[in-house]
Amino acid sequence: MPQLDPRQQLRKQIRLQRSALSPLQQLEASQAILEYLQDDPEFIPMQRVALYLAFDGELDLSLLINCLWQQGKQVYVPLVDPTKNGEMCFHRYQASSPLQANRFGIGEPIFDAKQVIDAQQLDLILAPLVAFDSQGNRLGMGGGYYDRLLAQISGDKPLVIGLAHDCQQINEVPVQAWDQPLKRIITPSRYWCW
């Protein structure tokens, strides 16, 4: 059997831990995130928010999504390009948007070029991750989707915040040259800012 590389091993281990969280732990985590964001004055003017549709034990954002819709804000979710390896865009997601599973089994809206937004037009990106460390280093699912996208962003806008359960924190992410460290991460127990 070929050995998994250390990043693959970490992904496997943390994904298992994350999937083992109970429905109650998941619910409490979702509520905690909603409270952090609702109480943050910085968040109030933000109109265009990209986030993700949770799978595999990721911190579930359904509560937040409903709250954003109620506030009349625009919600965007990732849509992977099936023709280009590693490329994704952010696509509008409304209560009426039909969803279909992508190649990874993650729900996404049906592609419509008019509903794609340039990342630079967003106010906020809430990014999923598999593992993070106390320096803000991020390990994702391994597709390089967010690394590529975040590499195109410069300046203060959009604000990028990683979201994770506390159990996703590890001592040290084995970083690669292309990894994009995060300036902020929110977990149910802590708001990290670097």
- List the binding residues for substrate: 53, 58
Closest contact distance (angstroms) between CB of 33 and ligand ATP is 19
Decide if residue 141 touches ligand FFO (CB under 6 A).
yes
Window of 27-35, 62-70, 142-150, 158-166 that interacts with ligand FFO by CB under 6 A: 142-150
Using only the alpha carbons of the chain, give its radius of gyration: 16
Confirm if 93 and 75 have CB atoms less than 8 A apart: yes
β 48-50/138-139 pair status? unpaired
For the chain, the distance separating the N- and C-terminal CA atoms, rounded to the nearest angstrom, is 40
Nearer Cβ to ligand ATP (76/146): 146
Decide if residue 145 touches ligand ATP (CB under 6 A).
yes
Decide if residue 148 touches ligand ATP (CB under 6 A).
yes
Site map 86..125 versus ligand FFO, x via CB under 6 A = --x---------------x-x-------------------
Angle, CA of 40, 138 and 7, to the nearest 5°: 155
Q: How big is the site for ligand ATP, counted in residues (CB under 6 A)?
A: 15
Q: How many CB atoms lie within 10 A of CB 17?
A: 14
Report the number of secondary-structure helices (H) and strands (E) in the chain.
4, 12
Nearer Cβ to ligand FFO (141/167): 141
- Cα torsion 125, 131, 133, 137 to 10°: value is -50
The binder of 93, among ligand FFO, ligand ATP, none, by C-beta within 5 to 8 A per type, is: none
Q: What share of the chain is helix, strand, coil (3-state, %, to 5)?
A: 30, 25, 45
> Residues 38, 101, 111, 142: which binds ligand FFO (CB under 6 A)?
142
Window of 49-57, 70-78, 100-108, 141-149 that interacts with ligand ATP by CB under 6 A: 141-149
Window of 14-22, 33-41, 93-101, 140-148 that interacts with ligand ATP by CB under 6 A: 140-148
Phi first, then psi, for residue 132 (nearest 5°) are -145, 165
Q: Which residues bind ligand FFO (CB under 6 A)?
A: 52-55, 58, 78, 80, 88, 104, 106, 128, 140-143, 145-146
